[in-house]
Structure 1
Amino acid sequence: MNQENIPSKFYNVGLSYKKADAKVRGAFSISKENQKLLLEDAKSKGIEGIFVLSTCNRTEITGFAKHPFELISLLVEYSNGSVEEFINVSNVYKNKDAVKHLFHIGTGLESQILGDYEIVGQLKEAFKLAKEVGTTNTYLERLMNLVLQASKDVKNHTKLSSGTTSVAYAAIQYLIENIEDYDHKKILIYGLGDIGKNTCKNVLQYTSNKMITLVNRTKKTALEFKNDHPDVEVVDYTELTSKIIAADILIVSTGASVPTVTKAHVAKNKKLLILDLSMPENVDTSVKELEGITLVNVDELSKITHKTLETRRSEIPEAEKIIKKYKEEFNDWISIRKFVPAVNALKESLQVIQHAEIDFQSKKIKNFNVEQAEVITSRLIQKITTQFVKHLKDEETAVDQSINVISKMFNIKEMSLNEND
């Protein structure tokens, strides 16, 4: 079969913490700049309906393609991963399974820390970028809308997100459980993205530590954060090394594609705990070779929230019920869209009859009210087409036969189902 004649299917291709460790996920991480380039490339290749999600726990492309390798090729091209590596750790979901997967992501069921809703904001940002580039379509718009509705419903009506647990919170739990006298340790937070800000807020909220220093490449961001959190100290990026040497605890949440902290930044023969919350990892793992250095990454932090997770796991069945409701709503919408070409063809045929009959009667009957006739007959057409849709939905096993009958009755040459509309 000619590749051009193969209809597009809905796919989700990617990898996550389930099969890929932090190092591999880091290799497949796609920067914001490359995400935009990827979408623009996909658009130029005629791929309609696609968005990219790249977080510390997963990198995925969701969209329409004739074959999943079209999307895999884009993922590999705009990351530092290879096809060989991808095959070993990948997930490929198609059509209904891809839809189900997206619902699970949006409701926190696929988060590394079950019920972590940070992914919702990341999903919104990913879709926002796709809209800006122009790679969304009606299908994706409707699906994302229902995923976000389901997410809100699960959060409000289950305990799936009960208790405070996230990577940013897990970092504080780690300090409390493993560091003696943590309230009096010098803490340096390097990087003020969402995770860095949340981590700093958690330190302030859950500890009494008043020795918190912030370093960010863009100092203005740190100073704006300080306006709402006056207890922290902000220093210039040029002081990074000296502040790392002076610190007892270093929390790194930068968004670089290469390590931002190396052996050159770290003092020798001095105890230092480093929590690397970045993805890809932004602390060179070789720092562990230095005596006194303890390096903890995202995967290790995610293991310390087991008590809270037990409560959350018991809520999964209730969350699945809510998801099922929204999936059924989406499937109903898809079913109706499948019938649109046939219904439109019937409606157009009835309108031709309507106009011809009104024209005939207006010439035959004196003072014939054309406007009133149009209103009445338009309502009749609407009722007929509505009944036709109901019939197609209720009698799905005989859809083709029903359409053939209507086509012959009204002499409609092109009346068909278009599942990819």
Structure 2
Amino acid sequence: MNKSFRYISISHNTASTLQREKYHISEEEKVALTTLICDSFNDISGLFILATCNRTEVYFEATNTTSNAVLDVLMNFKSVTNPEAEKPLFNSSNDTKDSIKHLLEVSSGLASLVFGDAEIISQIKKAHQFSMAHKLQGSLLERALQAVFKTHKRISNETDFRDGTTSVAYKSLKVIRQSFDSASVKSKKILFIGAGDIVKQLFKYNSKFNFTNIYIANRSEEKAIILSQTNKCKTYPWANVLSNNFDDFDVIISAASNCPNLINTINPLIKKTLLIDLAVPCNINKELAKQNDIIFHDLDSISVELEETKENRLAATNEVNTIIFEEINSYNEWLEGASLRALLAACKINLNNKLQNYFDTPLEESEINLVTNQVMKKLIVNNQISASSKVIDSLISQEISLLNLKQ
């Protein structure tokens, strides 16, 4: 059986934040899950794990292993007690063409919770680097990812789909501006929790908002200090975060990895406090939303399309779909030629082996290569790649005779 490119996916399209955070894969877990999958299925030659705030997906290429089998391993890895009840939360395919289409729609931002999200491509690049580091590119997977990067470049260069900003970080900062009066909003005391990509994006986009009273807290004090120095803000002790000491802050944006229910209590309030949870698993206990004077947002609520970019992006959707269609066709043409390339390679190896043992006195390497290439040309021109051994032996004899005459 030929290899197929396959996938499993849980995302905002199929599951709530609480449901999908159960399947989020941390960087540490990626190594363990990769090892488990490869040990469980020896026919998997390519593996790619994409874990973002809004989706967890596993792409792989295999001859026999099905997407359902990989999903079983993932659920066992995550200690799911009732897997059959949760399988409907996943989309999957064992068909190469369906899988490449899904990947291109995800990577383009068409399938993102934030429509047109441009940040997804950096997350895909990071996942690609992980696959390469573990020598798990695979031919089908590597070709698919090259199609992803080409599609991304074409969308950026040929359409208006990338115009405007649709980052959840940007939108979180915009929510701050919308939640407080314009006279005081820029001086509000803001705490960023975490030091990963989202927090770096918060600092990046703050150039558009100019909030000046920002603090950062992170488990690694060194990372917090580096970000504070780079972005001219102050650090806040991680011990205070763990003890839920947030009395003075007007805004808390939490995006710390692997810190479920990091924030469980906010002391009785005398002022309005904005809590924004951008983490998976969630950092902030949703029960806090019931308290008076707390405004609460999570990834689902923060990811409503920005009104100023929606119109342009929707208008460019047809162009994006056309580019994706063209790149899918290009991938499929390459895929359909793969079996022929494999057949040609096998035929050439067979010819080379025959010539290695053709005479008691072996031919020179250059002579073997010359005869092999000449026979291959005749087989291709005459459409005889699958010719019988007798026909191939005859062609070899002819080429060796010509070679002897020349000498």
Task: Answer whether TM exceeds 0.5 for this pair.
Answer: yes
The CA deviation at 1:336 is 2.6
* CA distances 1:174-193 after superposition (whole Å, capped 9, x unpaired): 12223213112111111121
The CA deviation at 1:42 is 1.2
Q: How many residues align?
A: 384
Paired residue for 1:419? none
* CA distances 1:347-384 after superposition (whole Å, capped 9, x unpaired): 35655787899999x9xxxxxxx899767645534533
The CA deviation at 1:155 is 1.8
Question: SS of the residue aligned with 2:192?
Answer: strand
The CA deviation at 1:237 is 1.2
Paired residue for 1:255? 257
Gaps of 5+ in 2: 395-407
* CA distances 1:10-57 after superposition (whole Å, capped 9, x unpaired): 321121111211111111212222221111011112133222111111
Paired residue for 1:316? 317
Paired residue for 1:79? 78
User: Are the equivalent residues in 1 in contact too, given 2:263–2:283 (CA < 8 A)?
Assistant: yes
* CA distances 1:237-257 after superposition (whole Å, capped 9, x unpaired): 123357621001111111125
The equivalent position to 2:198 in structure 1, one of 190, 195, 198, is: 195
Q: How does 1:254-403 map to 2 (within 5 A)?
A: 254-263=256-265, 265-348=266-349, 377=371, 379-384=373-378, 387=381
Q: How does 1:176-255 map to 2 (within 5 A)?
A: 176-180=177-181, 181-203=184-206, 205-230=207-232, 232-240=233-241, 244-255=246-257
Question: SS of the residue aligned with 1:315?
Answer: helix
* CA distances 1:138-184 after superposition (whole Å, capped 9, x unpaired): 22122212211221221222111110111001111212223213112
User: Are the equivalent residues in 1 in contact too, given 2:254–2:279 (CA < 8 A)?
Assistant: yes
Paired residue for 1:62? 59
Name the aligned partner's letter for residue 91 of structure 2. N
Paired residue for 1:108? 109
The CA deviation at 1:333 is 2.5
Structure 2 vs 1, CA of residues 373 and 200 (structure 1 numbering), >3 Å: closer, same or farther?
Answer: closer
In the aligned structure 2, how far is the partner of 1:29 from the partner of 1:190? 19
Name the aligned partner's letter for residue 11 of structure 1. R
* CA distances 1:311-362 after superposition (whole Å, capped 9, x unpaired): 11221222222223332332232223212343234435655787899999x9
The CA deviation at 1:294 is 1.5
Question: SS of the residue aligned with 1:52?
Answer: strand
User: Are the equivalent residues in 2 in contact too, given 1:40–1:133 (CA < 8 A)?
Assistant: no
- Percent identity between matched residues is 24
User: Are the equivalent residues in 2 in contact too, given 1:108–1:114 (CA < 8 A)?
Assistant: yes
The CA deviation at 1:293 is 1.4
Paired residue for 1:25? 20
In the aligned structure 1, how far is the partner of 2:10 from the partner of 2:68? 14
Paired residue for 1:398? none
* CA distances 1:273-331 after superposition (whole Å, capped 9, x unpaired): 10111122110111123222121111111114133122112212222222233323322
- The CA RMSD over aligned residues, in Å, is 3.0
Paired residue for 1:141? 142
Please, what TM-score do these two structures have when normalized by structure 1? 0.81
The equivalent position to 2:391 in structure 1, one of 398, 409, 418, is: 409
The CA deviation at 1:120 is 1.2
User: Are the equivalent residues in 1 in contact too, given 2:45–2:138 (CA < 8 A)?
Assistant: yes
Structure 2 vs 1, CA of residues 372 and 122 (structure 1 numbering), >3 Å: closer, same or farther?
Answer: closer
Paired residue for 1:418? none
Which deviates the most, 9-18 or 322-331? 322-331
Question: SS of the residue aligned with 2:56?
Answer: strand
Paired residue for 1:42? 37
In the aligned structure 1, how far is the partner of 2:346 from the partner of 2:211? 70
* CA distances 1:75-97 after superposition (whole Å, capped 9, x unpaired): 21233655234323221123210
Structure 2 vs 1, CA of residues 88 and 344 (structure 1 numbering), >3 Å: closer, same or farther?
Answer: closer
In the aligned structure 2, how far is the partner of 1:117 from the partner of 1:23? 24
Paired residue for 1:3? none
Structure 2 vs 1, CA of residues 411 and 179 (structure 1 numbering), >3 Å: closer, same or farther?
Answer: farther
Name the aligned partner's letter for residue 106 of structure 2. I
Please, what TM-score do these two structures have when normalized by structure 2? 0.84
Name the aligned partner's letter for residue 222 of structure 2. K
Question: SS of the residue aligned with 1:303?
Answer: coil
User: Are the equivalent residues in 1 in contact too, given 2:155–2:161 (CA < 8 A)?
Assistant: yes
Which deviates the most, 80-89 or 169-178? 80-89
Name the aligned partner's letter for residue 179 of structure 1. F
Q: How does 1:159-174 map to 2 (within 5 A)?
A: 159-174=160-175
Structure 2 vs 1, CA of residues 74 and 376 (structure 1 numbering), >3 Å: closer, same or farther?
Answer: closer
Gaps of 5+ in 1: 1-5, 363-369, 392-401, 413-421
The CA deviation at 1:208 is 3.2
User: Are the equivalent residues in 1 in contact too, given 2:216–2:236 (CA < 8 A)?
Assistant: yes
In the aligned structure 2, how far is the partner of 1:379 from the partner of 1:410? 13
